[in-house]
Amino acid sequence: MLTSTKSIATVDRDTTSSVDVVTLPRPDATLADAARIRAKVRGYILDEILLRTTTELDDAASLLNAGILDSTGTMELIAFLEAQFGLTISDSDIVADNLDSVDRICAFVGRSLQARGATAR
């Protein structure tokens, strides 16, 4: 919950009043964005990296340890994330904490979109 104070001038313009405005997050939009991100990331990994050879994918499992992602696959994933979500991923963002599982990728994309004030497309 965010609270901000707004100053409002009265009609005679000599007096101002302050009003606290409370902004509540829209959980439905946040959940919808998270679901869209997850669907696109999972779809990309299943279709483009695993080449539709399976429909099984544990969202918490390490993609690196499972041999699903290698250095080339990681670069292709980054290109996908940048194109799909309008991100610019810096070299310092290319770490396992951001890209080693579907869960971590989705969290990273969500944080990146939130940081720039965007929503999932």
**Is pLDDT above 50 for 47?**
yes
Q: Please give the structure tokens belonging to residue 77.
A: 């994933």
pLDDT band (50, 70, 90) for residue 16: low
Average pLDDT of 19-33?
60
* 10 found inside a domain: no
* 78 found inside a domain: yes
Element (H, E) at 2: strand 2-9
Range of the domain at 79: 26-115
Its pTM stands at 0.72
**Is pLDDT above 60 for 3?**
no
- The reported pLDDT for the residue numbered 117 is 77
For the chain, give the percent of residues with pLDDT over 90: 63
CATH of the domain at 96: 1.10.1200.10
* 19 found inside a domain: no
* 35 found inside a domain: yes
User: Pick from 117, 119, 92, 115: which is nearest to 37 by CA?
Assistant: 119
User: Pick from 70, 75, 64: which is nearest to 101 by CA?
Assistant: 64
Q: Residue type for 34, please?
A: A
**Is pLDDT above 50 for 1?**
no
Looking only at the bridges linking them, the beta strands covering 16-23 and 2-9 are antiparallel
Point out the least confidently predicted range of 69-73, 106-110, 113-117.
113-117
* 15 found inside a domain: no
Total domains in the fold of the chain: 1
Non-local CB neighbours of 68 within 8 Å, separated by 6+ positions = 45, 49, 50
